Amino acid sequence: MIIAVDGPTASGKGTISKALAAHFGLAHLDTGLLYRAVGRQVSLDSGDPDSEADALAACDFPESLMADDILRSEGSGSLASRVSIHPAVRRALFERQRAFANQSGGAVLDGRDIGTVIAPEADVKLFVTASVQSRAIRRHAEMQRRGESSTLAEIEADLARRDARDTNRKDAPLKPAADAVLFDTTALGQAEAIAAAIEAVEAALA
């Protein structure tokens, strides 16, 4: 079984995906981490994330980078959004994601184009969204817990910029698959969102 979970930054898709993987006994991949690793590698190489050549070269990042906590930072997230617009980068990471999706035993993948590009054959597709304001509040709380400083207004503006890049890029833009279950978490707490997502998946499988 393959479950595809797509949606914008800080919509709750990562938390929901991990919970679905645990509930259904499936492997989980946060595909956004791959792009964050590429963005981080560009930075380590003193490259330009807006240069397709620099971003493509950074796709050859060491596996150990995936475990670096800095990938969870806002800076890495912003870099990921910039490198992900390059078609060559998306092609370079495509097979890696496909292999994970088609592994024996099934998988849950979350990202921006799982249900539309990476695993269009997924058994269940969720598109998780929430208002920019609610996502900014969640991300601000996360950053405060990590000791990162940024104002709510700055985070909201950054999320809006990422949304624009993700939805307007020519290659694999962020959008719901035609058969995706739309899932708005704006008014839901974490436990409520997880329970509702599990129920949605079970209903889709039935």
CATH number, domain at 73? 3.40.50.300
How many domains, the chain?
1
Bridge partners of 5?
110, 126
Q: What is the mean pLDDT of the chain?
A: 94
pLDDT for position 170? 86
pLDDT beyond 90 at 163? yes
H/E stretch holding 146: none
Residue 63: domain span: 2-205
pLDDT for position 172? 87
pLDDT for position 146? 81
pLDDT beyond 90 at 57? yes
pLDDT tens by residue, 91-135: 999 999 999 999 999 999 999 999 999 999 999 999 999 999 999
Contact 136, 152 (CB under 8 A): yes
Concatenated DSSP letters for 153-174? HHHHHHHHHHHHHHHH-SSS-S
The predicted model scores a pTM of: 0.88
